[in-house]
Amino acid sequence: MIEYTLEWLAMSKVEEVFVFCCAHAEQITDYLSQSKWAHNKEMVVTPVVSTSCFSAGEALRLIDQKDIIKNDFVLINGDTVCNINLAPIVEAHRARRQADKSNILTMITKSVHQPLQRLRLGERENVICLDPKNNRLLKFHEAQQGEHEGEGSEKLPPLFKFDAAFFGERDSVQVRTDLKDTQISICAPEVLMLFSDNFDYQSLKPDFITGVLSEEELGNKLYIAELGRQEYAAHVSNLRAYDAISRDIIQRWAFPLAPDTNLLWRGGAWGPTTYRYARGNRYYEQAVTIPRTAHMEEDVVVGAGTSIGENSRITQSVIGRNCRIGKNVDILGSYVLENASIQDGAVLRYALVCDSAVVGPSAVVSAGAVISHKAVIAAGHHVPPHTRVSLCSQVQQEVSLSDDELEYSGAVTAGRAAVGKTKGKKAKQVQQQQQQQQKQQQQKQQSRREGGDSSSEESSSGGGSGSDSDGDSDRAGPLSSSGSEADVLILCSGPSAQAATAAEALAMGHMPDEATLAAAHFDEAAVGKGEQDCADLPGDDEDAEAGAAEMAAAAGAKAAESDSEEEGEEEVTDPESNFKREVSETFLRCVKLRFDQTNAVIELNGLKVELLLTFEEYCSLEGVFEAQGENGKAFAEIFEPMLKIIYDAEIVSEEAILAWADEKQLAEEEEKVFVKKAERFLQWLREPEESSSGEEEDSD
């Protein structure tokens, strides 16, 4: 996807590009160094890597510190698809700047007449007030998500309130609801300075713009540039936008960024793209095998080396290179990436199948499903809508009770992480996982296996899903807004190899590492970075029962989600494992992910008390996030069961919990929140109970 952006910039004769990467930094840097941009003299592309930024604001502050941008610059997301000619807009901006130094920002917007167009792209409605004489931006309001949910979950139109005095101040004000922000802005260096001054600005739209607009006395002015009819600009912020924008590209709205102009360089054995156009918006590359009986309906793109089976029907889809589509396959509105294999009789509806995945014969993949890298769907299996099937990760929340019941809760939080490419957005599943392991470990594995089996095969996780070099598909809130926040994650209890070694090494079962599931396109690094649970062994505290391994893996991967650009932050608690290898790997990954808290957490190993502190810290982090109204909320809800799990898992002893609760009595209000939540549990703890006594054997 970054190719679209870079190609567009090259077309606009931009001379220097800085790609700010955070989450997938090595992948991006590698890709750039191998691509044609590395030796392009007309446009110099420089990656700027940072591991500690989680919002656009941070990124801009870093850039300001590094002082690499000295004059007006264009600020865009890394996944922008557009064909705008920037030159006249930049000229106008410069002219304004010359006239008055306080004209610091020009926001490029596109007028959108159909309200559904916005919905297509998953963008929010907004109201923009302009001064029509010079297009100066006076007010900018965006509908917050969920703000307009009425009673009975009707969608009321968003309500924006304006002060009447505001209208009185000027001769004329244009209030427009049809402008869609393309997230392309031309900024002056003062913008960077403002970001540095106001270090709590996280993102451009809500924070910076409202901040500047409200501080009119500083005199900074923002402007709007409106795009003409022929100019297309869109930015891929979620899976829905990915789909909508792909369709736009196939239907040539973003000309000349159409598939058959072969503008985009793609690596691999086939080299640059060689698409040819056929009527009905069909694009075929070379070496594509399509039998006479196959129906290729409209809006289809088929990559090189792919073969389609007989009687198959493909509509509105994109098939990557080297795919094998079987016979009688029905694909509608789907995206099948490289090397995937869709076997005979399968049905795909509006799904995303990532590279090297396999969809078994007669399987049905329903709308919104994402089959990740290398995942395999068994024959005849029906993948429910909006599910994600992946190899790695999954933090499953299991409450293992002493009666050996495996309770599988698919409840997943609204954890959204944005892993930025330049400033991209990504949604991750964040789940928390507590695992308990006792002698029932075997059984557990079994039950998990059963749980996981129905939808996919197990295979080693670990690195898990690779990411498509083409870019990240982003998924954010809007998807979850389609209803299901509970996404079922399936898969893999982890590397069987690891399990084997575990069994050998300790004669006990081991819970393999599991990472939380990340959304579709993920690379190894991301998964590693993102969410890793570590097998946790209280190393120094081996009880006499060598047979009983205790493991707890508390995975927290979450990210604060921001409007546009934030990076996934990761937190791994208690990496401790007898497998140094795993530990070191995890450490590396953790280290990659900035975060003081993370570091602090890592330092706490082993001891139960420290464990609890860690947990506390984690909780307090949760608290922090909750305060930001972000996905911490989800954690808050499961805080209590989480406590129980930890308790059951004997990670934390009863005394420790009580001690923690007592400590918190003196703490501030916000931290008390968690104590309150755990109140019930604490009550139960305090009561003398026979069942709990058995679990009080941990000693520190």
Partner 1 sequence: MAEAVKEKPSSFAEVVENCCAQLRRRQIQGSLPCAKRTAEIMRALLTMQRHPDAASLIDDVRAVGYKLQAAKPVELAVGNIVRRVLHLIREEAQTEKSDSEADSNDAVPQGKADGKQDVMKSQGVEHLHANEVILTLGMSDTTYAFLREAARKREFQVVVAEGAPRYDGHLQARKLADAGIQVTAIPDSAVFAMMARANKVLVGAHAVLANGGAIAPAGIHMVALAAHKHSTPLVVLVGLHKLSPQFPHDPDLLYNDFRGPAEVADSDMQARGLPQHS
User: Shortest gap between Cβ of 292 and partner 1 (angstroms)?
Assistant: 17
**210 versus 366: smaller Cβ distance to partner 1:** 366
User: Shortest gap between Cβ of 354 and partner 1 (angstroms)?
Assistant: 20
- Contact partners, residue 393, CB within 8 Å, separation at least 6: 429, 461, 464, 489, 491, 514, 515, 516, 517, 518, 527, 531
Order across the sheet with 364-365: list the strands.
295-296, 313-315, 330-332, 347-349, 364-365, 382-383
For the record, the structure tokens of 518 come out as: 């990340």
- Beta bridge pairs of residue 107: 185, 224
- Contact partners, residue 402, CB within 8 Å, separation at least 6: 648, 691, 694
- In one-letter notation, the amino acid at residue 121 is L
**484 versus 620: smaller Cβ distance to partner 1:** 484
- Contact partners, residue 175, CB within 8 Å, separation at least 6: 127, 128, 129, 162
CB count in 10 Å sphere of residue 83: 19
CA separation for the pair 68, 70 (Å, rounded): 6
User: Shortest gap between Cβ of 231 and partner 1 (angstroms)?
Assistant: 8
**212 versus 383: smaller Cβ distance to partner 1:** 383
**70 versus 580: smaller Cβ distance to partner 1:** 70
User: Shortest gap between Cβ of 263 and partner 1 (angstroms)?
Assistant: 5
**160 versus 253: smaller Cβ distance to partner 1:** 253
For the record, the structure tokens of 83 come out as: 């064909």
CA separation for the pair 399, 582 (Å, rounded): 25
Find how far residue 347's CA is from the centre of its chain.
Answer: 27
Q: Which residues bind partner 1 (CB under 8 A)?
A: 7, 10-11, 15-16, 36, 41-42, 44, 70, 83, 112-117, 119-120, 229-232, 244, 247-248, 251-256, 258, 260-263, 274, 276-277, 333, 349-350, 367-368, 385, 482
Counting Cβ atoms within 10 Å, is residue 699 exposed (0-12), middle (13-18) or buried (19+)? exposed
User: Shortest gap between Cβ of 248 and partner 1 (angstroms)?
Assistant: 7
**102 versus 117: smaller Cβ distance to partner 1:** 117
- In one-letter notation, the amino acid at residue 510 is H
User: Shortest gap between Cβ of 472 and partner 1 (angstroms)?
Assistant: 21
User: Shortest gap between Cβ of 240 and partner 1 (angstroms)?
Assistant: 8
For the record, the structure tokens of 433 come out as: 């996982």
For the record, the structure tokens of 66 come out as: 């590094």
Q: How far lies 321's CA from each of 9, 264, 266, 268, 276, in Å?
A: 26, 14, 11, 10, 14
Task: Give yes or no for a cis peptide into 158 (omega within 30° of 0).
Answer: no
Which runs of consecutive H residues, i.e. helices, occur in 425-534? 441-453, 477-481, 496-506, 524-530
Question: Quick check: 90 and 186 in contact, CB under 8 A?
Answer: yes
**254 versus 657: smaller Cβ distance to partner 1:** 254
User: Shortest gap between Cβ of 464 and partner 1 (angstroms)?
Assistant: 27
**65 versus 584: smaller Cβ distance to partner 1:** 65
CA separation for the pair 391, 357 (Å, rounded): 10
User: Shortest gap between Cβ of 444 and partner 1 (angstroms)?
Assistant: 35
**73 versus 201: smaller Cβ distance to partner 1:** 73
Question: Quick check: 234 and 245 in contact, CB under 8 A?
Answer: yes
Which runs of consecutive H residues, i.e. helices, occur in 237-361? 239-250
For the record, the structure tokens of 118 come out as: 């916005």
**113 versus 292: smaller Cβ distance to partner 1:** 113
- In one-letter notation, the amino acid at residue 299 is D
**8 versus 595: smaller Cβ distance to partner 1:** 8
**110 versus 589: smaller Cβ distance to partner 1:** 110
User: Shortest gap between Cβ of 124 and partner 1 (angstroms)?
Assistant: 15
CA separation for the pair 559, 568 (Å, rounded): 5
User: Shortest gap between Cβ of 277 and partner 1 (angstroms)?
Assistant: 6
User: Shortest gap between Cβ of 590 and partner 1 (angstroms)?
Assistant: 36
**285 versus 574: smaller Cβ distance to partner 1:** 285
- Contact partners, residue 454, CB within 8 Å, separation at least 6: 378, 381, 490
Dihedral class, residue 271 (left if φ above 0, else alpha if ψ from -120 to 50, else beta): left
**250 versus 593: smaller Cβ distance to partner 1:** 250
User: Shortest gap between Cβ of 598 and partner 1 (angstroms)?
Assistant: 36
- Contact partners, residue 489, CB within 8 Å, separation at least 6: 387, 388, 390, 393, 394, 395, 396, 410, 412, 429, 431, 517
- Contact partners, residue 612, CB within 8 Å, separation at least 6: 652, 656, 657, 659, 660
User: Shortest gap between Cβ of 4 and partner 1 (angstroms)?
Assistant: 12
